[in-house]
Amino acid sequence: MQHWMIDGPDHRVFGPVSSLDVRIVAGRLAVLASDGPPSLEVAEFDSASPLIVAYDEEHQELSVAFKDLTWDGLLGWLRRDRRRTVVTITVPKGCTVNAGVVSASAVVAGFERTTQVRSVSGAIVLDGVSGDVSATTVSGPVESRAMDGDLAFKTVSGELTVADGTPRRLRANTVSGRITADLRLRPTGHVTFNSVSGDILVRLPENVETDVSLRSTSGRLVSAFDNLSNTNGPGTKSMSGRLGGGMASLSAISVSGEVTLLKGEKE
């Protein structure tokens, strides 16, 4: 295994990589799928501690991280030093990606297997990522563009925005963060949104085929689709029904947040 300690702008090229592990604190991180050789570019570096790079050619594993920034301690990292870095990493689209940031923004684009991104307060952008994807934040927002696969999102107060999504499975859990999703559902697509106080807004094509269940304890329920039935019981309100053939499923549940279902253009 090869090791490097980086304490300034740098550029390195590696052999085959099938697994990437990267963790930084502040600044910007871009992890991009590429047909070229795997590479690391550090454009800016402002830290008293070096960035440690480890490459295992036999197992095709690449790690880029600060020594004391562990996965277990990432979401509770409260150090005062910012350790600002601007890092771009390119690896093949079939690479397994584990990326973690504290306050840095992160862009992860083009991967198709397993992608995991964690953030404390930094914004995460998932662009054209398919396969099995998970994003976990405390307060950082997550934006997913052209999603095609499975996405699990969990946050306390961060917002989730899904633009042009075609999920197989989409699960989002938030305490107070807002969820906004523009979706096209596969015939067997399954979408579940859960919120305590955050609003949930979903837009589906006019000719969508899905079962729908919207529920809230005290929040308002709004639907642009006329063929959903209202059921109000003690301490809960719900709207449900089948749109079209109803092969897919959509569930949106909030305690006090507003749940809105909008109608988009036909597919």
Instruction: Flag whether pLDDT at 65 surpasses 70.
Output: yes
Residue 226: partners with Cβ closer than 8 Å, 6 or more residues away: none
Same domain, yes or no: 67 and 10: yes
DSSP assignment of 151-162, as one string? EEEEESS--EEE
Classify residue 125: in a domain, yes or no: no
Q: How many residues does the chain have?
A: 267
Instruction: Flag whether pLDDT at 67 surpasses 90.
Output: no
Same domain, yes or no: 152 and 232: yes
Domain boundary residue, one of 105, 131, 149: 105
User: What is the average pLDDT across 31-47?
Assistant: 97
Instruction: Flag whether pLDDT at 23 surpasses 90.
Output: yes
Strand pairing category for 96-101 and 19-24 = parallel
Amino acid at 221: L
pLDDT > 70 fraction of the chain, expressed in percent and rounded: 97
Q: How many other C-beta atoms are found inside a 10 Å radius of the C-beta of residue 24?
A: 27
pLDDT at 55: 98
pLDDT at 78: 61
| Residue 47 token pair | 């830290």
Instruction: Flag whether pLDDT at 89 surpasses 90.
Output: yes
Q: What would you measure as the largest C-alpha separation in the chain, in angstroms? A: 64
Give, for 76, the enclosing helix (H) or strand (E). none
% helix / strand / coil in the chain, to the nearest 5?
Answer: 0, 60, 40
Domain boundary residue, one of 105, 125, 151: 105
Same domain, yes or no: 164 and 249: yes
User: What is the average pLDDT across 160-176?
Assistant: 95
Full-model pTM: 0.93
Same domain, yes or no: 208 and 264: yes
Domain count of the fold of the chain: 2
Amino acid at 145: R
pLDDT > 90 fraction of the chain, expressed in percent and rounded: 84
Instruction: Flag whether pLDDT at 75 surpasses 70.
Output: no
What digits encode the pLDDT tens for the residues 120-131? 999 999 999 999
Classify residue 116: in a domain, yes or no: no
Strand pairing category for 84-91 and 26-33 = parallel
Distance, in Å, from the CA atom of 233 to the CA atom of 40, rounded to the nearest integer, reads 57
Q: What range defines the domain where residue 245 resides?
A: 141-267
pLDDT at 76: 66
Same domain, yes or no: 264 and 161: yes
Instruction: Flag whether pLDDT at 156 surpasses 80.
Output: yes
Classify residue 121: in a domain, yes or no: no
pLDDT at 234: 74
